[in-house]
Chains A and B, each alone.
Chain A
């Protein structure tokens, strides 16, 4: 490494998830094995299945940093991101850092697709049906929608406004991006942010993911595609079973999770507490279209191998891995194949979706937050609901490890055959 090589470090975390209102709460729930899966409260499931999801429990302005007057124009994913970014900034000591160069402060979020909201659109359709005798008529719909939709309706549905709202609040005038690669987006966002800092284009970039798909239409979509578990023969918290032979699909979740990434020089100069180093990132694709995975999990395998190679330049071994398994058979099989022989991996494999559900574009970022919390300790979260593993991998049982965790990989894999991996390492100056 050259003397002027920029190292990218983590100086803060933020997370609001089904299992915690903060990063610390989320981490302790993961360690304690507290599930976030519960009956759906955000809409009426009318007796249909699934009746459960992993929802964020409290997103009210009373209990979060959300500004009440802006709520109307913020989609739920923007609200989640806002809360997580505020927490991360406070955690990193950026909230009161007047000397911070705002033009070199960036924000990159992985964001999910927000379906049309059923409430307002449903009213418009109802109004149309009243005038047309229940037939669909485009012009009648147009008139009805013009009456029923709020003027700011569109703003809640524009993906990059999640980063815009949060970025305005922290005055981030540097690089900004919104990555929309589905379940892998949070990992891509963190990886791209790390590159931007390494290239010298920013000092600090807050990066992660946000997603809020516990909605009727997204539920319908995933159920129809057969990816969502609908079983009701066990308690909700037993449904999400990554890597288990009896798994019947994922449990829909929502969350926002972000890291504060920073060049090590900048972090040291301002006396920030360095929590970890981003020591590797890679991404790849299966090239098999929107609905198929490579059976061997090619994209995940490629990304993890490249990331492991970066980590192993400094570390003797990789102490653990967060796997992107969610209980969807085809995906879990591919992920297990990809993780079969990770170079240098000597520790256990965790799967946080067993507790937090599948939080889509936030999922890899949530795992990255967990990995940062885990470094330096001796334990990884146990994989819950895993009775009959589909592969002979070493899954975490929450056992105490002999060596302190020094290097971890976060794997990400999802629809569209997107794969990515992040390498996080304890900071060694």
Chain B
């Protein structure tokens, strides 16, 4: 018998708002978080827009230090790790589990990207030897002191955010980080959910973080022709399912959910935001950058989540799409929804909050799960903005432009990643304490 999982804490840091309240008012008012890049000089990059988080100050959200000190060296934590610390603190407070003893046996499962490269530091390291002729390999290992390169580089590891969270909350149980591209944090939440379902743990802190918005990230994705180049109209650049779309917009952020075994949550009278009821994952095994033309992995992930939750397709009242704003994803996702949901598909509203948040890559799935839970709680569907003229091959109800009221009890959220990773999560509305 599978155990049930309550979502008893939420935390989110995103370009449209920090904290659940601002995040949700941003999404339901249809506000875009995409702006010209001002964090660094984006001159010379083919893409000069991103959904950056502006004015973030870790100390507003937590007393966790924003820098790591070791052996007299000090190194600021990268944006991704700071977002994770803030989102986790919000979720932990929201769940009212302050007692660190409770966390000792908890599971921590994170989907996190790597920290950003400090290009100016790399430039210093790679160009140290000015005497070498052209074409010479940079003498990286010379004797010059480039501290704190070592600490900074180590803190770039994908496992850094989860490791610092484990330290902060005293989590001595399983601490895992996965990095399955754009599906990572949805997969992390799904795997933590499986552990609760199987009775392997009763409490989990799960989610993800990523800030893949540094110069090399923007350039790397731009060179793959994946990004929108609508530099003159940033707020209109991310336009999932719209005929005029030309790629996705890189975003950043973090989101954390506290998952709790249902009886545990009931015993302590926790407030339950929603019940996590299904997780499905499947792989395309087709091409590293392209989705399968029949979206076979996506279709099976959706179907598996529905089966895990023992749902009928017609019970589903809302789907938060992966919806990246690329021709390939938007069409394949639409096909996958038709294939997995059958005739019910046309009656179910589907929206892409990436139209506002941009694509936070490894953090996207967790951010979108929070959006999906808030939709259930408030009975409001966030819109797909910029959807002026739907792509004729995208024929579902994408909730264009404006948020919509709807009475519904069950929702799905999709996360599909580079490399053919596909994850779907299913959530059910709850009212008040767990019944």
Docked Cα-Cα span, A252 to B104, in Å, equals 33
The segment out of B3-11, B115-123, B406-414 that lies at the interface is B115-123
The segment out of B169-177, B234-242, B342-350 that lies at the interface is B169-177
Let me know if B219 and A149 touch, CB within 8 A. Answer: yes
Let me know if B159 and A182 touch, CB within 8 A. Answer: yes
Let me know if B219 and A164 touch, CB within 8 A. Answer: no
Docked Cα-Cα span, A136 to B44, in Å, equals 14
Q: Is A125 close to B, CB under 8 A? A: yes
Distance in Å from the Cβ of A73 to the closest Cβ of chain B? Answer: 7
Decide: A48 near B142, CB < 8 A? Known: A286-B172, A299-B172.
yes
Q: What chain B residues lie within 8 Å of A115 (beta carbons)? A: 153
Q: What chain B residues lie within 8 Å of A43 (beta carbons)? A: 137
Of residues 395 through 435 on chain B, the ones whose CB sits less than 8 Å from some CB of chain A are 417-421
Decide: A160 near B223, CB < 8 A? Known: A143-B44, A155-B288, A417-B166.
no
Name the contact of A136 in the complex, choosing from B123, B171, B300 (C-beta under 8 A). B123
Q: Which residue of A lies closest to B361 (CB)?
A: A158
Docked Cα-Cα span, A273 to B96, in Å, equals 52
Let me know if B174 and A172 touch, CB within 8 A. Answer: no
Q: Is B270 close to A, CB under 8 A? A: no
Distance in Å from the Cβ of B127 to the closest Cβ of chain A? Answer: 5
Q: What chain A residues lie within 8 Å of B46 (beta carbons)? A: 146
Q: Is A346 close to B, CB under 8 A? A: no
Distance in Å from the Cβ of A163 to the closest Cβ of chain B? Answer: 7
The segment out of B144-152, B315-323, B328-336 that lies at the interface is B144-152
Name the contact of A416 in the complex, choosing from B42, B134, B160 (C-beta under 8 A). B160
Let me know if A175 and B281 touch, CB within 8 A. Answer: yes
Docked Cα-Cα span, A251 to B208, in Å, equals 32
What's the A-B contact tally at a CB cutoff of 8 Å?
280
Let me know if B164 and A48 touch, CB within 8 A. Answer: no
- Chain A 380-410, CB-CB to B under 8 Å as 1, else 0, gives 0000000000000000000000000000000
Let me know if B44 and A139 touch, CB within 8 A. Answer: yes
Q: Is B45 close to A, CB under 8 A? A: yes
Let me know if A181 and B177 touch, CB within 8 A. Answer: yes
Q: Is B215 close to A, CB under 8 A? A: yes
Let me know if B215 and A118 touch, CB within 8 A. Answer: no
- Chain B 273-302, CB-CB to A under 8 Å as 1, else 0, gives 000000001111111110000001100100
Q: Which residue of A lies closest to B160 (CB)?
A: A290
Q: Which residue of B lies closest to A50 (CB)?
A: B141
Distance in Å from the Cβ of A130 to the closest Cβ of chain B? Answer: 9
Q: Is A59 close to B, CB under 8 A? A: no
Q: Which residue of A lies closest to B217 (CB)?
A: A154
Q: Is A365 close to B, CB under 8 A? A: no
Q: Which residue of A lies closest to B42 (CB)?
A: A142
Docked Cα-Cα span, A328 to B216, in Å, equals 33
Let me know if A285 and B175 touch, CB within 8 A. Answer: yes
The segment out of B27-35, B52-60, B178-186, B369-377 that lies at the interface is B178-186
Additional A-B contacts beyond A163-B419, A180-B158 (5; CB < 8 A):
A145-B219, A168-B420, A175-B281, A178-B179, A221-B149
The 7 closest A-B pairs by CB, nearest first: A224-B150, A154-B220, A139-B43, A164-B419, A142-B44, A143-B44, A216-B140
A contact set with B: CB distance below 8 Å: 43-46, 48-49, 73, 102-103, 106-107, 111, 113, 115-116, 118-119, 121-122, 125-126, 128-129, 134, 136-143, 145-146, 149-155, 157-161, 163-165, 167-168, 170-182, 188, 192, 195, 199, 216-225, 283-291, 298-299, 302, 415-418
